[in-house]
Each structure stands twice: as C-alpha cells, then as structure tokens.
C-alpha cells in the first residue's frame, strides 16, 4: 500500500479514536511508523480528543500505560522494513475492536502531549523492589525487559551467559520465556514484565535440583 494511503488510513483511525477522549500513541521500528503515529495523532486532536504520545518501545508498554492512567485506548505502530503493523488496545490491555466514526464534528480541537520515561516506569512498576544480587543473566526483547531485570538485581548481558538464565520476550512485550539449567518456563502475567515479576517471586523447580530447608538449592 502506498505511504500516502497508509497516512490517510491512520488519520481516519485517529478521527475515530478521538471520540474516546485521551488516547495513547507510540511507535517503533522506523520513520514511517513515527509518521503514521503522528497522522493518527492529528486525527485524534482534530476529532476533539487528546493525543498522548509516549516513548515506550513496544505495544505492551503502551497497554500498561493506558491502564495505569485509566485511558480509553492505546495505539502502537510497528515498522519492520517495508511492513507496517499496528496494535489497538483498550484501557485494560485487551485488543480493541474497530472504532465507529462519530456523527458530528467537535466544537474545538484537542491537545497533543508527550509522556517520557515510559519504559523505565513500566519496568519499575512491574518489577517492584530490588531482590539482591541475583547473578548474571541474558535478556532478549524490549529495552524494558533489561531495565526490569537490572532492577530486580540481575547483571544483564546481551548474549547468553554460561550458567545464567536467558529471559526472552516477544518484540511487543506481551509474553515471556525463561531458559535456565536446561529447563524452559513460560511465566504468566499481564505482560512479559508481569510474568517476570511472578517468576522472581516464585523460583521454578529445575530438573536435577530440589528446594531444601533453609531455602538453599543443592544438587540431588
């Protein structure tokens, strides 16, 4: 699809979203995604809504932010080369149905706003408190995954570490997989960072290891 046609579609999507009030908008992957996100923001503002742009690096981060501020919707535009995908979620982090256009034009335009530090805020909210020195680990996923692991107490590398766990998230930060000592876990949570927090709270049982009194891990 031509870029100008994509721009029209995102602008029209913004017009429909503007009727919901304040809408979060983010993007990742390139300049086309940023331009399309701004086109949607123009539509939101001209429809009388408030376009709140954020600097989070994935769709799940925007979903968390919309829930945190009790906003109606979160739009995230992802560019991968010439491919463009978009995620529309409601204020509870669930995928939203298409929005119908309003019947009448608003009396005035809305506003633009920018929310900075979103990845850090998401990581801090999900990870919680420092758990002490947890050792080396590898992170593959959004930047916020690394931030959350460091906040928990891991020493994070960008490549596998001998003897250390590997935390891998999908690109948009919705799911998490952990590989540790030959075992694979898929912690459940509202998103990847929610799963990480649960994993840190309840260490998984690893084959050939068992939990003994005194909370020490020893080989069988």
> pLDDT category, 177, cuts 50, 70, 90?
very high
pLDDT (0 to 100) of residue 116:
92
pLDDT over 50 (residue 165): yes
What's the pLDDT score for residue 1? 66
pTM above 0.85, yes or no: no
Kindly indicate whether the domain formed by 3-116 is annotated with CATH number 3.40.120.10: yes
Confidence at residue 203, expressed as pLDDT on a 0 to 100 scale: 59
Q: What proportions of the chain, in percent to the nearest 5, are helix, strand and coil?
A: 35, 30, 35
Higher pLDDT, 102 or 180: 180
Alpha-carbon span 168 to 157, nearest angstrom: 12
Spatial contact of 168 and 160, defined as CB atoms under 8 Å apart:
no
pLDDT confidence of residue 2: 85
Quote the mean pLDDT of the chain.
85
In this prediction, residues 108-127 reach a mean pLDDT of 85
Average of per-residue pLDDT across 183-192: 94
Q: State the Cα–Cα distance between residues 208 and 133, nearest whole angstrom.
A: 24
Asked whether the predicted pLDDT for residue 90 surpasses 80, the reply is: yes
């Amino acid at each position: 699809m031509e870029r100008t046609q994509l721009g029209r579609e995102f602008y029209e999507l913004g017009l429909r979203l503007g009727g919901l009030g304040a809408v979060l908008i983010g993007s990742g992957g390139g300049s086309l995604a940023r331009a399309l996100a701004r086109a949607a923001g123009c539509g939101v503002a001209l429809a009388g809504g408030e376009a709140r742009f954020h600097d989070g690096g994935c769709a799940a981060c925007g979903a968390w932010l919309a829930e945190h501020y009790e906003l109606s919707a979160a739009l995230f535009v992802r560019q991968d080369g010439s491919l463009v995908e978009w995620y529309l979620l409601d204020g509870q982090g669930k995928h939203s149905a298409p929005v119908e256009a309003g019947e009448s034009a608003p009396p005035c335009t809305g506003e633009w706003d920018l929310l900075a530090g979103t990845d850090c805020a998401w990581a801090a909210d999900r990870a919680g408190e420092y758990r002490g020195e947890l050792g080396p680990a590898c992170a593959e996923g959004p930047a916020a995954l690394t931030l959350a692991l460091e906040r928990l107490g891991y020493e994070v590398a960008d490549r596998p570490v001998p003897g250390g766990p590997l935390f891998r998230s999908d690109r948009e930060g919705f799911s998490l997989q952990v590989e540790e000592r030959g075992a694979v876990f898929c912690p459940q949570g509202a998103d990847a960072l929610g799963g990480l927090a649960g994993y840190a709270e309840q260490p998984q049982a690893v084959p050939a290891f068992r939990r003994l009194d005194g909370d020490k891990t020893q080989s069988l």
